[in-house]
Amino acid sequence: MEKKPLVFAYYVTGHGFGHATRVLEVVRNLILAGHEVHVVTGVPDYIFTTEIKSPKLFIRKVLLDCGAVQADALTVDRLASLEKYVQTAVVPRDSILATEVEWLKSINANLVASDAVPIACRAAADAGIRAVCVTNFSWDFIYAGYVMVAGRQSHSIIWQIAEDYSHCDFLIRLPGYCPMPAFSDVVDAPLVVRKLHKSRAEIQQKYKATTGFLPFVFEGSSPGAGKFGYLKIRMRSRSA
């Protein structure tokens, strides 16, 4: 018997484009399997619409988390990050939950997926819809490092985020993960990345021509996130 197509609501953090580009591949395959996907995010539409041409893709521009406030790729303003999250997801929390529950019911969503928007998990639970997180880190862990600077009065933010995540049925944990104790059921998955449009050699030559170096090894996570907060880059010289 032919399986009935499902309706997915996929919440994507507005922090950078990395989350959106990996979600892109998951969404692409869900649509290829015949399902309908509603992406909820603050990132530009073109991240999805330039690569997925389908009437089964819907983009809803809503920002429900803010990630980290950064002056550049490696400099995080911890206090500003927590303050922005409070204004984005804590102060309007009741309104957000009411809006999301109503919207999820209006599209007849069968499943909520999140990478890694905390309040989406609670909204799914309130709407009576199952939810999963697909990610390699959670914001309670990242922000825990910021609270060391902000002070004890910010601890409630961490607990609220963890409580939101706990409403997920399970976590699909991607490689390069940090501790995520809010999730009681974990399924490990392989690396999810966007399809390459250029060969490895083309990419290497482009960066070598621009910088004189080739990226050789990259290891890292969010600066300030405890023992996982490190960045290490080894480079090959122009002669390599």
**Residues 182, 76 share a domain:** yes
Q: What is the pLDDT of residue 127?
A: 98
Query: Which residue ranges in the chain fall short of pLDDT 70?
Result: 1, 215-240
Domain span holding position 181? 7-188
Q: What is the pLDDT of residue 228?
A: 37
144: left (phi over 0), alpha (psi -120 to 50) or beta: alpha
Q: What is the pLDDT of residue 222?
A: 41
Q: What is the pLDDT of residue 226?
A: 37
**Is 1 among the domain residues?**
no
**Residues 143, 41 share a domain:** yes
**3-state helix/strand/coil string of the chain:** CCCCCCEEEEEECCCCCHHHHHHHHHHHHHHHCCCEEEEEECCCCHHHHCCCCCCCEEEEECCCCCCCEEEECCEEEHHHHHHHHHHHHHCCHHHHHHHHHHHHHHCCCCEEEEECCHHHHHHHHHHCCEEEEEECCCHHHHHHHHHHHHCHHHHHHHHHHHHHHCCCCEEEECCCCCCCCCCCCEEECCCCCCCCCCCHHHHHHHHHHHHCCEEEEEEECCCCCHHHCCEEEEEECCCC
**Is 193 among the domain residues?**
no
CA pair distance 30, 154, nearest whole angstrom: 38
**Residues 224, 135 share a domain:** no
**Residues 151, 103 share a domain:** yes
**Is 96 among the domain residues?**
yes
Q: What is the pLDDT of residue 216?
A: 56
**Is 158 among the domain residues?**
yes
**Is 194 among the domain residues?**
no
**Residues 153, 80 share a domain:** yes
Q: Which residue has the tokens 């389908």?
A: 54
**Residues 213, 96 share a domain:** no
% of the chain beyond a pLDDT of 90: 69
**Is 195 among the domain residues?**
no
**Residues 231, 155 share a domain:** no
